[in-house]
Amino acid sequence: MKSTATIDIVGFAEIAQGNSPLVGIIANPVSARDIRRVIANASSLQIADRANIVLRVLACLRACGIGDVVMMPETGGIGRHVDRGLARARNLGEQQFPNVHYLPMRVGGTVDDTHQATKAMVRAGVAAIVVLGGDGTHRAVAAHCGVTPIAGISTGTNNAFPDHGEPTITGLAVGLTVTGRIPDEIAFVANKRIDVSINHGAVREIALVDVALVAEGFVGARALWRTENFRELFVTFADPAVIGMSAIAGLLEPVTRAESGGLAVRMAPLAQSRTVVQAPIGPGLVSSIGIRDWRRMPGEVPFVPGVADGSIALDGERELSFSERDQVVLTLKDRAFRTVNVSGVMRYAAKEGLLCSTKALLDAAE
């Protein structure tokens, strides 16, 4: 999809030169509204709850001395509820939140908004981007964040990638990190990515967790649940403790996020499989999948799938169709982008007594 939006980020460069680092927040209002709500027992975080999460993060950033935050505007209502929270605090004379600036971009209501917002935040020099969404949202940010680190908060249905921890702690960890209190080697971890190339780069996509090739040849309601159509699976990490495609691999041979490389799995019809995995492929959805074989997927090695035609699902959602006329190549990249190591940051903060000093944190900020 060609981008036609231009964004004026002059104002933000000035903000970024202020006293405190700039942090970006991208909150997706549209995640978790898809068919999984009906065919699985997916929950949906209400708009007001997503806004509350944003307010929690904002409060913690402020507590760490962050004065300004840029946010992606959206028409899903999160911004409106956030503004109410900010207005209430202002009316009560509280200094609870940083200044929130919405990017001056046109809202199309599609994933392209996330692409544009990420690029704008990077140009504005944000020290980190906090993301609220599912795997799809995080993927959209990771595609354009470059070296800017991401802190993920799960608010989607398919959430193999982002953290499921309390957003307050994510906000605190990001605040401590961007204000320079945490050494880089502790604050950030490297994340893997699979690059998908069709027809020598005519189409380029990425996945943060999994690339699944399925026999369904169309992109309808996008979610994956018809297991009889699964053919091949490539994962950046194989975690038995998450739901989604990564769980299938994780129950065969776990591969951590820290290890180099991922896993490539080939499926077979149940009747012809010696190995059958019962995997939690969706919320409350455990399905049987026939497995032919699997092997490690090393970094930088191009893989050509054996499936002639069908759809490619990226991080659990059917995104691309292909046929035998198309050439599909998948390559895993180690160290593709950085995320904030929330638990690591907090352990370091405790060890170093960062939040136990006699002077209040806010004194330092003012």
Contacting residues toward other proteins, per CB under 8 A = 29-30, 33-35, 37-39, 44, 46-48, 75-78, 80-81, 109, 216-222, 309-310, 321, 323
Residues with Cβ < 8 Å from 205, sequence gap 6 or more?
195, 196, 312, 314, 319, 320
Minimum distance of other proteins from residue 103's CB (angstroms): 18
Cα 235 off chain centre by:
15
Give the nearer residue to other proteins in terms of CB position, either 226 or 335: 226
Minimum distance of other proteins from residue 272's CB (angstroms): 22
Does residue 30 contact residue 156 with C-beta atoms inside 8 Å? no
Give the nearer residue to other proteins in terms of CB position, either 285 or 355: 285
Which residue carries 């993060």 as its tokens?
57
Minimum distance of other proteins from residue 193's CB (angstroms): 27
Give the nearer residue to other proteins in terms of CB position, either 226 or 347: 226
- Between CA 337 and CA 332 the distance in angstroms is 12
Minimum distance of other proteins from residue 35's CB (angstroms): 5
Tokens of 45: 């975080």
Minimum distance of other proteins from residue 43's CB (angstroms): 8
Minimum distance of other proteins from residue 53's CB (angstroms): 15
Radius of gyration in angstroms for the set of CA atoms belonging to the chain, rounded to a whole number = 21
Give the nearer residue to other proteins in terms of CB position, either 218 or 272: 218
Give the nearer residue to other proteins in terms of CB position, either 108 or 261: 108
- Between CA 338 and CA 221 the distance in angstroms is 31
Which residue carries 């019809």 as its tokens?
269
Tokens of 308: 């002639």
Give the nearer residue to other proteins in terms of CB position, either 250 or 305: 305
Tokens of 244: 């989604």
